[in-house]
Amino acid sequence: MLKIYTRLIFLSILLLFVSAAIAQLKLSVQVDESRISTEDFIHIQYTIEHAKKINKFIPPSFAGFKVIQGPDYSNGWTLINGEMKEYVAIGFVLQPIRKGKFVIQSASANADGQNLRSGSIAIEVTDPGNNTIIQIDKQAGNQPLNDMILKTGENISQKIKNNLFVRLELNKTNVYVGEPLVAIYKLYTRLNSESKVTRRPSFSGFSVFDMADPESEQAHYEKFNGKDYNVYLLRKVQLYPLQEGKYELESIQVDNTVSFIKESFARNQNTLNDILSAFGEEGIGPAAWVKQQVTLSSEPKIITVKALPIGNQPQGFFGAVGQFTIRTDLDEKELAVGDVATLSINISGSGNLPVISSPQINWPAGIETFEPESKEELNKSVAPITGKKIFTIPFSPTSAGRFVIPSVNLVVFDPLSGKYIESKTDSIPFQVMEASLRKTKPGKPGISDPVSAPSGKNEFPGYVIVLFLLVMFILAILFFLTGRKGKKKYSKDSPDAGKSTAEISTEPPVQQLSLFPHIFNLGKAKEFVHLNMPAEAYREIEQVIVSVISERYEIRRGETFDHIYAGLIRRYVPEELAKQTVSLLQDCQVAQFSPLIEGNIAMADFERAQIILDKLQSSTT
């Protein structure tokens, strides 16, 4: 028994070290657009952070897209607390093959000997006709026609140049790392034109957040160099620089079809409405128009990004730039050994909220923590972004006593003052009793005894114990009846008298009672895959995996992914298998809502699910 406890303690310590190492590595994904047309391009970038050596990177299949460019590799670094942290970015330029809703599946990598996996990205592809179409509106019909009429001998190219152009407007060109700048791409026109965006800027080196939807924005009038223009929004984003240096904001490209009215058809009318009225219901025929194709691009601009001050950078700075406050909450302050509680860290304010990571917590000895989860409530239509980001960290005490979660320190760089600002939360005390003294929590029947087993003994659900006792009772009756029947049948005069019961019994042997009566399989999911019904296949896979971990590991249905992971770890499931299980469940949920999952991907995920299922069932038998 002492050897078993020693091995369990050693494995727990090893898992803690492995978890700490994995937490330093991260594989993330970003796209510049989530809704495009079949004629557009998207730039997708995978970023591996804090890795010293990248052994392998495997991109997804990009089903539904054609790879136009990539992979393009770049690297960089940031300075936090005087420590240089490197990252590697892998970028691709994709063009959709057809319209529809697509899910770009996860990419995977191996860095520093650890396996990493990114999230999935949903992309909607529309018809080309859903691009921004720019035409003269009703109000423009009463404006002078001079610029819309092509006069005899007039240079059409020069006329277009003077009355149709694209501009990039910036609210600032000199910023700190993490300080946002707003970039607005606009089309200015005094002509009758139809336009569509054919190339978008990639914004490499920045985190990009769209502030408005061009398709829902109405045109407005602006005066530029003394002339009135119809102005159309092409793109409005706020950009958060990731590292210091000089960056060029790329141009946006717009294809235009400009239509002029020939001078001979103007008939001395002053406005477009006057012309339409003069021609009556027949309208202006094709012979009255001159059409010209032209491609316009905005002028690129240079952004200077300054590094954050290092000399006076306080300890505990983790990249927050803006104006923020911090608050911590504990959902339970009276626990028993093995219970799972949750610490919440709420960071609210304005600034680079989406890229902020969880602050460091100096947990007291005797506390085991699990993978944190974050949730955002953001307003990205204003700059800087405002809202809040909440980190939830499950933890479990491994010993009884009085504990205190120390205050959490938040260090923020304020770009307005150019200074670092520190704030702290209050410390949170809580009490932990021995598991044997655990009390039922009021209003929460059935969950007073969590899924942990710190004593090392197997604990089974109540229905299993009841079933076990019922079967034992039935077996006892059967043995009693069988014994009496045997005594009556085999009397002293029986020719088989004197033989043992084992030699003459024709009853089948009593099988050993299985504590887990169900053996789960994925036969139905495989049928759905062969029938090209991927959504049903993923739904069946999810249901089977959830049933296994519910029955065999006492993890309640409906739990969050963090709690599923924590419950598996506490049941001594290998950490890699726990991660694979949670990752599979996440992929199943995403895939169920994607109408375009290719058969080879569904089959690969089915095979992955079969391996995970076998491991989950074999580890409990």
Give the pLDDT mean for 150-165: 89
Q: Does 43 fall in a domain?
A: yes
| 525-535 residues labelled b (16+ CB within 10 A) or e (exposed) | bbebbeeeebb
Please check whether residue 461 lies inside any domain of the structure: no
Residues 379 and 396 in one domain: yes
What average pLDDT is seen over the chain? 78
Domain count for the chain, please give it. 4
Q: Is a pLDDT exceeding 60 seen at residue 329?
A: yes
Tokens of 471: 């079967």
Co-location of 232 and 277 in the same domain = yes
The pLDDT > 90 percentage for the chain reads 30
Domain boundary among 125, 160, 186: 125
pLDDT greater than 70 at residue 574: yes
Instruction: Indicate if the pLDDT at residue 313 is higher than 60.
Output: yes
Same domain, 113 and 138: no
Element (H, E) at 122: strand 121-126
- The CATH number linked to 342 is 2.60.40.740
Co-location of 170 and 272 in the same domain: yes
200-238 pLDDT, tens digit per residue, is 888 888 888 889 888 778 888 899 999 999 999 999 999
pLDDT band, very low/low/confident/very high, at 594 (cuts 50, 70, 90): low
Q: Are residues 115 and 188 located together in one domain of the fold?
A: no
Q: What percent of the chain has pLDDT over 70?
A: 74
Higher pLDDT, 447 or 254: 254
Q: 61 and 111, same structural domain?
A: yes
Answer whether residue 441 shows pLDDT above 70: no
C-alpha triplet 23, 24, 27: angle, nearest 5°: 85
Confidence band (pLDDT; 50, 70, 90) for 597?
low
Please state the rounded mean pLDDT for residues 141-162: 78
Rounded to a whole number of angstroms, the distance between the first and last alpha carbons of the chain is 20
Among the listed ranges 56-70, 127-141, 298-312, 417-431, which one has the minimum average pLDDT value?
A: 127-141
Grade residue 478 by pLDDT with cuts at 50, 70 and 90: low
Q: Is residue 468 part of a domain?
A: no
What pLDDT is recorded for position 462? Answer: 52
Are 154 and 301 in the same domain?
yes
Region 591-600: mean pLDDT is 64
Compute the radius of gyration of the chain from its Cα atoms.
Answer: 34
- Give the DSSP per-residue string, 136-196: --TGGGGSB-TTTEE-TT--HHHHHHHHEEEEEEES-SEEETT--EEEEEEEEESSEEEEE
Contact 256, 195 (CB under 8 A): yes
- The CA distance from 210 to 379, in Å, is 11
DSSP 387-452: EEEEEEEEEEESS-EEEEEPPPEEEEEETTTTEEEEEEPPPEEEEEE-GGG--PPTT-TT-SS-S-
Note the pLDDT of residue 411: 94
Range of the domain at 231: 131-306
If you average pLDDT over residues 545-553, what whole number do you get? 87
Query: 206 and 298 share a domain?
Result: yes
Which of 437, 464, 485 lies at the terminal end of a domain, its last residue? 437
* Residue 343 covered by a domain: yes
How far is residue 271's CA from residue 290's CA, in Å, rounded to a whole number? 18
pLDDT band for 571, please (50, 70, 90 cuts): confident
Tell whether 174 and 255 lie within a shared domain.
yes
Residue 505 domain-assigned (yes or no): no
Q: Strand pairing partners for 322?
A: 351
**Per-residue confidence band for 561, with pLDDT thresholds at 50, 70 and 90:** confident
Residue 273's pLDDT band (boundaries 50, 70, 90)?
low
CA 329 to chain centre: 25
Choosing from 284, 306, 328, the residue where a domain stops is 306
Specify whether the backbone of 334 is left (phi greater than 0), alpha (psi in -120 to 50) or beta: beta
Same domain for 263 and 405, yes or no, is no
* 614 located within any domain: yes
355: in domain: yes
Q: Which two tokens stand for residue 336?
A: 């028993």
Asked whether residue 195 falls in the same domain as residue 109, the answer is no
Asked if residue 252 and residue 335 are part of one domain, the reply reads: no
The model's pLDDT over 43-58, given as tens digits with 9 standing for 90+, comes to: 888 888 878 788 888 8
Q: Within a domain: residue 444?
A: no
